[in-house]
Amino acid sequence: MIARPIYAKIYSVKKMTCDGALSEIKKEYSLVKLLSDKNDSLIMQMRHKRTGRDIVLRKYRISVPAYDFLKGFTHKNLPEIYDTYNCEDGQIVLEEFIGGITVAEVLESGRYTVSGALKILNPVCCALEFLHMCGIVHRDIKPENIIVSDTGAVKLIDLNASRIFDSEKTGDTVALGTVGYASPEQFGITQSDLRADIYALGILLNVMLTGKHPSEKLAHGRYGRIVLKCTQIDPSKRYQSIDEFLYNL
């Protein structure tokens, strides 16, 4: 595990706007690379000016409770959340930087073998099992959000679309997720739970093996049957847990 960077003290002692907090952060960190700039989020690779350690800074217009919850936890298949700051107009997250290559980048040059796909899916499932145990549904499992680090560790990243399951709610407050990977319930049919992640795992498995969405080309044999089970419209007809998915995988 990498050492924690030094943070500006602003995070725990003062409330301000995200831009104000970013100004304080930039006194301690310099920008290395802009990773993503969208309407609702900004993601940057930052480097501590004194220690030289890199972190990922995420800025969101709407706070993501899962980041607050996971602060202080460590898991071998998830990036460590160093700190969160809930501003008047959004949230800033300081996260472990992971150098490596995404599954999406690998797929640009070819498909995975079955054994190669399993080497990715097993640790992703390990991360999901932990998140589900914490009541967190990831809701955005896709090749771009899985990194194989320079040391060979598989990490599931980006909790922007995640939600904490609430048994008293009947539907998702906000429809989030990536079209093609998001389950039907993420678009307002019912509340999404851990079975939404099972749905996305089925799509991911198929894409890794065939390079295509299952609606275009289904994986052969038993893996095709696993994909079909995962992607049932009715969540009750899917695998009901990560353990059940792994058992059949």
At 198-220, the pLDDT tens digits run 999 999 999 999 999 999 999 99
Q: What is the DSSP string of 185-213?
A: GGGTSS---HHHHHHHHHHHHHHHHHSS-
Q: Which bin fits 152, alpha (ψ -120 to 50), beta or left (φ > 0)?
A: left
Q: Does 243 participate in catalysis according to the annotation?
A: no
Question: What SS3 state is found at 239?
Answer: coil
Res 186: pLDDT: 67
pTM: 0.85
Q: Which of these is catalytic: 140, 158, 193, 197? A: 140
Please report, in tens digits, the pLDDT of each residue of the chain (249 residues total): 333 444 444 344 346 899 898 999 999 999 999 999 988 889 999 999 999 999 999 999 989 999 999 998 999 999 999 999 899 889 999 999 999 999 999 999 999 999 999 999 999 999 999 999 999 999 999 999 999 999 999 999 999 988 886 544 444 444 445 667 777 666 666 677 899 999 999 999 999 999 999 999 999 999 999 999 999 999 999 999 999 999 999
Report the C-alpha gap between 201 and 249 in whole angstroms. 11
Report the C-alpha gap between 117 and 36 in whole angstroms. 27
Res 11: pLDDT: 46
